[in-house]
C-alpha cells in the first residue's frame, strides 16, 4: 500500500540557535493511543504544520556619538548601532573617522555569544573586543559556524578627530550578538539545480527582516550558490546576470523581476529552469503569489504558457526537492512483518504477504512499492526496481525485496552493516562499519556495485549515513574517541560518486545513534549527553546555525522526511508519532521505523 505526497511548498519550524537562549522545561504529555491500534482499512497520513512567526525587530537605539564621549563610549555606541540592521548603516558610520566612514563596506556578519560585548581598554584610547564567536554570514548570506573555541578579537583603532574619539579600524563585517542576529535576520533558501537539471537543491541563506527581501533574494540567486555547495549544483542563469531594474517590485501579490537582456538568448529548456529557480526562491515571500519576468523590460516568456511571462512555483512542482510523487508514510517491522504506519492505523504491506522479514534495520525506496521512477526498461535484470532493503540481524548481509521477487535477494555482505539509504535515482547507499574502518558502496539501479570516494569517512568509525531527498547532500555520524560528531557533506556525481566538503555541525550531544533528514534544510538526530543519560531527539539545521530539541520519549531509532511527522522507535518497542501540535501519539508496537529514502 502506498500513497503519494501532495506537492506543496516546503515548510519548516522557526529554530532556536544553539546556546543562545535558555530553554524552559516544557511539560509535554504523551498522547496515549487506543489500547488496540487498528490494522485494517485505509491508511491516513498527515503533513506537519509550521511555526514561522517573525519576531519583532527593534529600531536603532543610538543616534551617534556625543561630544566628549570616551573611547569606550564611542566603541559601545558603534556596536549598538550595528545591533539593528540598516541599509548602508548610516548611524554606525557616524562613529567612524571621516575617511573610514566613506570607505567602510561591511560584506559579512560576525556573530558573538553574549550581550553586551565586553570591552577592554588596556591603555588609554586602545579599545579591544575579545569574545567567543558563534559564527557568521558570508558575502551571499550563507552561515558558517565557528570552530570549537574560536574567538572574535578586534582592535577598533580608536583615533582622535578634531579632539573627538572615533573608530579608525572598523571590522570587515557587522558585529552583533546572537540575540540580535536572531531578531534581525530570517532564514531562506536559494534554489539551484542538480548537475542534470532534474531537481532543485536548496541552499540556505539569511537576510535582514527589515529589508527589501525580494530584491535581496534575487540578487543572491544571481550571484550563485555558496562555495560549499557549488561543486554539486548548477544554475540556469548566465554568468554575471544582473537585475536590469534597481529592485524587484511587488504589486497585488505579483513580483516583477526585470533581468538584463542577456537572458533573452537562452534556449527554451534553459528558460524553464531559470523560471523554476526564480519561482521557488521567491515563493518563500508570503506576499508573492506569482512572478512576472522581463528581460530589459521585454516579456520573458516560454512556449506552452500561452505566451505569458507570469509564472509561480506550482507550475514547476516536477522539480520539487522533496521529490514529486514520492511515497508517503512510515514503514516499520512488527512481528517479522513489514507494516505501513499511518496517522490512524497500521497495516501489513500487502506485496510482502508471506514474507517473514527478520532484520535489524530496513530502508525503503523513495517511490515505495512502486519502486521505480520510470526510467528502467525491459533490459532491467530485476524486472522492476527493488523497493525494500533489509539488514540481517547479525549485520552481515543486505537483502532486497521487489514486487516481482518470490524470495529476497542478497546484494551485499559485510561485518557490521548500517541502515542503508536510497536516493531518488534508485541507488542504494550502504556502509559497513568494518570494525571502525568503514567502507561505503552504492548499488545502482542495474545491480552494479561501486565504491564511494569519501575522504574523511572511508576508514573511519561511521555510525550512520543518510542521503538527502534531492540527492546532493549526505548527513553522517562518525565516532571520534568518546564522542560522536554530526557531519554534512555534499554529494558529487561525475564519473563516480563522492562525498566531499565535510563540515561538522555543533550539537549539544556527545553520543548519537541515529539520524534522518527531517526537512530540506534540517537533520534530526537521536543521542544523549553521556553514556548514562536517556536519549532525546534534536533537530539541527544543515548549516549548523540552529538546533531545536524534541521533547519525545526515550528512543533508540527514528524516521523523518521533509514535510512529514517525526516517528520515534522507543526502547519499549512502541512507535511514537509527532502530531501537528508537536505532541506525541502511540502508534502501537513496532521497531526500525523508516520513511522512503
Q: Residues 104-117, buried b or exposed e (16+ Cβ, 10 A)?
A: bebebbbbbbeeeb
What is the SS3 assignment for 375-398?
CCCCCCCCCCCCCEEEECCCCCEE
**Helix-, strand-, coil-residue percentages of the chain, each rounded to 5:** 15, 35, 50
Is 91 a domain residue? Answer: yes
Is 20 a domain residue? Answer: no
Contacts of 240 (CB under 8 A, 6+ apart): none
Give the HSE-up count for residue 138: Cα atoms under 13 Å, Cβ half-sphere.
16
Same domain, 178 and 207: no
Same domain, 419 and 553: yes
Same domain, 565 and 450: yes
Structural domain including 172 reads 71-184
Cell of 402: 521487489
Same domain, 173 and 219: no
Count the domains in the chain.
3
Same domain, 548 and 572: yes
CA–CA gap between residue 66 and residue 46 (Å, rounded): 58
Is 54 a domain residue? Answer: no
CA–CA gap between residue 595 and residue 459 (Å, rounded): 28
CB atoms within 10 A of CB 87: 9
Same domain, 168 and 206: no
Q: Where are the beta strands (DSSP E) in 156-297?
A: 158-161, 164-167, 174-177, 185-193, 200-208, 249-251, 254-259, 290-295
Model's pTM, two decimal places? 0.87
Q: What is the CATH number of the domain that holds 95?
A: 3.10.450
Q: Specify the pairing of strand 361-364 against strand 346-348.
A: unpaired
Per-residue confidence in pLDDT tens, the chain, 597 aa? 333 333 333 333 333 443 333 333 232 333 333 333 333 344 433 443 333 334 445 566 788 999 999 999 999 999 999 988 888 899 999 999 999 999 999 999 999 997 677 899 999 899 999 999 999 999 999 999 999 889 999 999 999 999 999 999 999 999 999 999 999 999 999 999 999 999 999 999 999 988 899 999 999 999 999 999 999 999 999 999 999 999 999 999 999 999 999 999 999 999 999 999 999 999 999 999 999 999 999 999 887 655 678 899 999 999 999 999 999 899 999 999 999 987 777 888 888 877 889 999 999 999 988 754 444 344 444 434 689 999 999 999 999 998 666 789 999 999 999 999 999 999 999 999 999 999 999 999 888 999 999 999 999 999 999 999 999 999 999 999 999 999 999 999 988 999 999 999 999 899 999 999 999 999 999 999 877 678 889 999 999 999 999 888 888 999 999 999 999 998 889 999 988 777 888 998 999 999 999
CA–CA gap between residue 556 and residue 332 (Å, rounded): 14
Q: What is the CATH number of the domain that holds 545?
A: 2.130.10.10
Same domain, 556 and 417: yes
Amino acid at each position: 500500500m502506498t500513497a503519494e505526497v501532495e506537492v506543496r511548498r516546503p515548510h519548516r519550524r522557526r529554530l532556536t540557535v544553539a546556546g543562545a537562549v535558555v530553554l524552559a522545561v516544557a511539560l509535554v504529555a504523551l498522547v496515549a493511543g487506543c489500547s488496540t491500534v487498528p490494522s485494517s482499512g485505509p491508511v491516513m497520513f498527515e503533513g506537519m504544520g509550521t511555526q514561522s512567526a517573525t519576531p519583532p525587530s527593534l529600531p536603532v537605539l543610538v543616534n551617534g556619538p556625543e561630544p566628549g564621549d570616551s573611547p569606550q563610549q564611542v566603541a559601545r555606541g558603534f556596536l549598538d548601532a550595528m545591533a539593528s540592521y540598516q541599509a548602508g548603516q548610516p548611524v554606525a558610520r557616524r562613529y567612524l573617522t571621516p575617511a573610514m566612514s566613506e570607505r567602510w563596506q561591511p560584506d559579512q556578519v560576525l556573530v558573538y555569544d553574549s550581550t553586551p560585548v565586553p570591552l577592554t581598554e588596556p591603555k588609554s584610547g586602545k579599545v579591544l573586543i575579545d569574545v567567543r564567536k558563534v559564527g557568521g554570514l558570508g558575502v551571499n548570506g550563507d552561515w558558517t559556524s565557528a570552530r570549537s573555541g574560536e574567538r572574535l578579537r578586534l582592535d577598533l583603532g580608536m583615533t582622535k578627530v578634531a579632539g573627538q574619539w572615533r573608530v579608525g579600524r572598523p571590522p570587515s563585517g557587522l558585529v552583533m550578538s546572537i540575540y540580535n542576529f536572531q531578531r534581525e535576520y530570517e532564514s531562506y533558501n536559494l534554489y539551484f539545480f542538480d548537475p542534470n537539471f532534474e531537481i532543485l537543491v536548496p541552499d540556505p541563506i539569511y537576510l535582514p527582516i527589515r529589508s527589501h527581501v525580494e530584491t535581496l533574494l534575487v540578487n543572491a540567486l544571481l550571484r550563485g550558490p555558496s562555495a560549499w555547495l557549488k561543486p554539486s549544483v548548477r544554475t540556469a542563469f548566465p554568468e554575471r546576470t544582473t537585475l536590469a531594474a534597481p529592485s524587484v517590485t511587488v504589486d497585488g501579490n505579483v513580483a516583477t523581476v526585470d533581468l538584463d537582456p542577456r537572458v533573452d538568448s537562452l534556449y527554451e529548456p534553459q528558460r524553464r529552469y531559470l523560471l523554476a529557480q526564480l519561482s521557488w526562491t521567491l515563493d518563500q515571500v508570503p506576499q508573492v503569489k506569482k512572478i512576472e519576468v522581463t528581460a530589459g523590460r521585454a516579456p520573458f516568456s516560454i512556449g506552452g504558457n500561452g505566451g505569458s511571462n507570469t509564472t509561480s512555483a506550482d507550475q514547476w512542482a516536477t522539480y520539487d526537492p522533496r521529490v514529486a510523487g514520492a511515497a508517503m508514510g512510515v514503514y516499520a517491522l512488527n512481528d517479522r512483518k513489514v507494516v505501513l504506519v499511518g496517522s490512524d492505523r497500521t497495516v501489513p504491506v500487502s506485496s510482502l504477504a508471506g514474507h517473514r522479514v527478520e532484520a535489524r534495520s530496513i530502508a525503503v525506496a523513495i517511490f515505495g512499492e512502486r519502486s521505480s521512477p520510470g526510467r528502467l526498461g525491459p533490459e532491467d535484470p530485476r524486472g522492476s526496481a527493488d523497493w525494500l532493503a533489509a539488514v540481517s540481524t547479525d549485520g552481515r548481509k543486505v537483502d532486497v525485496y521487489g514486487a516481482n521477487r518470490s524470495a529476497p535477494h542478497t546484494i551485499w555482505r559485510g561485518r557490521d552493516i548500517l541502515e542503508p539509504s536510497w536516493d531518488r535515482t534508485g541507488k542504494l547507499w550502504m556502509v559497513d562499519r568494518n570494525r571502525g574502518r568503514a567502507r561505503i558502496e552504492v548499488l545502482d539501479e542495474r545491480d552494479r556495485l561501486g565504491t564511494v570516494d569519501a575522504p574523511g569517512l572511508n576508514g573511519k568509525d561511521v555510525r550512520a549515513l543518510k542521503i538527502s531527498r534531492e540527492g546532493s547532500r549526505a548527513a553522517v555520524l562518525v565516532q571520534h574517541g568518546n564522542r560522536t560528531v554530526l557531519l554534512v557533506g555534499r554529494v558529487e556525481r561525475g564519473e563516480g560518486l563522492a562525498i566531499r566538503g565535510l563540515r561538522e555541525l555543533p550539537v549539544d550531544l556527545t553520543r548519537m545513534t541515529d539520524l534522518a533528514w527531517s526537512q530540506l534544510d534540517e537533520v534530526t538526530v537521536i543521542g544523549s549527553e553521556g553514556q548514562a543519560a536517556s536519549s532525546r531527539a534534536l533537530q539541527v539545521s544543515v548549516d549548523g546555525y540552529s538546533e531545536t530539541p524534541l521533547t519525545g520519549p526515550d528512543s533508540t531509532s527514528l524516521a523523518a522526511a521533509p514535510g512529514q511527522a517525526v516517528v520515534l522507535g522507543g526502547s519499549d518497542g512502541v512507535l511514537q508519532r509527532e502530531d501537528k501540535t508537536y505532541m506525541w501519539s502511540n502508534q502501537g508496537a513496532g521497531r526500525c521505523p523508516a520513511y522512503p529514502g
